[in-house]
Amino acid sequence: MPVLTRDATREVTAVRPPEFSRSEHMRVLVAAAVGSVVVGYAAVAALLALISATATYAAFSTAGVLSAAAPAWLAAHHVPLRFDAGQLGVLPLLPTALLMLLVARTAAGAADRLGLYEPLQARGVVLSIAGAHAVVGGTIALIMGDGVVRATPAVAFFGCAAVSGIAATFGVARRCGLVEIVFDKLDPVALHGLRSGFMALFALISAGALALGAGLAISWPTTSGLFAGAGPSVGVGLGVFLLCLGYLPNAIIAGFSYVAGAGFSLGGVEISPMRFVGGDVPPVPLLAAMPETEHVWSPVVLVVPALIGAFVGWTCRKVSDRPSSRFRAVLVAAITAAVGCLVLAATAGGRLASGAFDPVTVPAGLLALMTAVWVLVPGVLVAWLAGSRAKVVADGDAEFVEPDFEEEEAVDPDVVFEDDELTDQFEQLEVVDEDEFEVEEDLEDDDYYDEDEYDEEEELEDDVADEQDDVADEEEDVEEEEEDLDAEFDEMLGMEPEEDLDGKPER
């Protein structure tokens, strides 16, 4: 049966991309770049139009909504805005996440339409989308000039390019094989540590969300009172709700920073499990989750990151029999979780208009360091204690050493075993051709043979064997019937069967 190699199978089964001319290729890239900008800007303008239409004292106009959407679009790209009172650097992360999701979907659609499948082919999609966002962001910053709301053109240019470029890269990563390139360069130990690090980061974020939810549930009377005191109209309540919803990821990051022990600060207010400095906070319902006084049981929350680190060590306990490999897996997990916390904390805080509540700080460096410690120390202990160890020989204190199968040992053919059964087994051994063994091993490891064809051949062989058995049975039945007929015929003639020299009856 012909067997396809791995490369041949890829050539046969791979779907070749359609052929596009240069003009058609550029048309798809321009449509993706312009479409992501227009759709994102339209979504921001629609949200502002909804708030303006429902607010009591807001003057609704199309030109006003479109002009107000420009700085909001920059804020969605996490570009700091400047006012006469100061700089607004603590920006909501939910619009940024939604914008990145939109850009990633647009980039993935462009890659599918062009039939991209190689890593280098992703450059056109990423550069076109990032370039369009950068040009539009820099242009908006230049047009705003020295108005009420301002933005630095260089910061707007590179900030929009960075956010959209990262999102576009995520969109085309799997389709163009970027994920496989990264994973193929990692050994199994490092890959397991990377996955465990992402699991630890997700667990920390979940712990922060639970801490925020518990704080809002405990202080629900204060939260509902702040919503009721925001304003009598539906538009004002909707605006406050959207404000809290936009800053919800920021609050979750502050929550898991508190759980990890790094804490956060809002102006002069500092809150952490080991330190509490109270003060006034803005009347925002989302901030009602902050503790109002210091509690003796606050350090108990540090058990959560310790348990997360122990869980990482438990997942890495079977990655290898060598303690050094298990330690390396936990180290990779700790670094992965620390880098993730560093990026999230750096984007969650910022300046708040030089007021009484400026700045809003989530200590990124301290949070990354404490996350690495919480994952590394308990993880290493659990991975070392719960992991498998090298076996020791029964006689003596010598450590068991695995045999080196690359070194061939000569076998004396004149060796005679005392046990007859072992001798018979030794005589029945067959010499295996190394080339044939390698070919069979390659065939067993090859996942690209046609299993359906192999199963059909086996079924055909079974059917042929069954038919042969049926024919043999029918022949035996015919012979038996002939013998019976001969015996009946002899009885009718009154003849007795004669015997031949061998003693067998003969008619």
Q: What is the pLDDT of residues 6-44, one digit of tens each?
A: 444 344 334 445 566 788 889 999 999 999 999 999 999
pLDDT higher than threshold 80 for residue 383: yes
The total of other beta-carbon atoms located within 10 Å of residue 506's CB is: 9
* pTM (predicted TM-score): 0.72
User: In this prediction, what percent of the chain has a pLDDT beyond 70?
Assistant: 77
Q: What is the pLDDT of residues 247-282, one digit of tens each?
A: 999 999 999 999 999 999 998 899 999 899 988 888
Q: Could you tell me the CA-to-CA distances from 266 to 83, 288, 425 in Å, in that order?
A: 20, 13, 80
| DSSP code of residue 277 | E
Q: Is 93 in contact with 347 (CB distance < 8 Å)?
A: yes
pLDDT higher than threshold 70 for residue 391: no
Taking the C-alpha atoms of residue 127 and residue 124, their distance in angstroms, rounded to an integer, is: 5
Task: From 339, 97, 324, 314, select the one nearest 194 (Cα to Cα).
Answer: 339
| DSSP code of residue 119 | G
Taking the C-alpha atoms of residue 151 and residue 74, their distance in angstroms, rounded to an integer, is: 8
Helix H or strand E segment including 499: strand 498-499
The pLDDT confidence band at residue 353, using thresholds 50, 70 and 90, is: confident
The total of other beta-carbon atoms located within 10 Å of residue 359's CB is: 18
pLDDT higher than threshold 50 for residue 429: no
SS3 313: helix
| DSSP code of residue 195 | H
Q: Could you tell me the CA-to-CA distances from 293 to 297, 300, 471 in Å, in that order?
A: 12, 16, 94
Q: Residue 452: what pLDDT?
A: 54
Concatenating the DSSP letter of every residue in 461-492 gives: HHHHHHHHHHHHHHHHHHHHHHHHHHHHHHHH
Task: From 316, 315, 314, 337, select the one nearest 325 (Cα to Cα).
Answer: 316
SS3 61: coil
The total of other beta-carbon atoms located within 10 Å of residue 244's CB is: 20
**What mean pLDDT do residues 275-297 have?**
87
Q: Residue 463: what pLDDT?
A: 75
Residue, of 117 and 473, whose pLDDT is higher: 117
Q: What is the pLDDT of residues 437-463, one digit of tens each?
A: 454 455 444 444 455 555 666 777 777
**What mean pLDDT do residues 419-434 have?**
47
Q: Residue 246: what pLDDT?
A: 92
Q: Residue 499: what pLDDT?
A: 47
SS3 230: coil
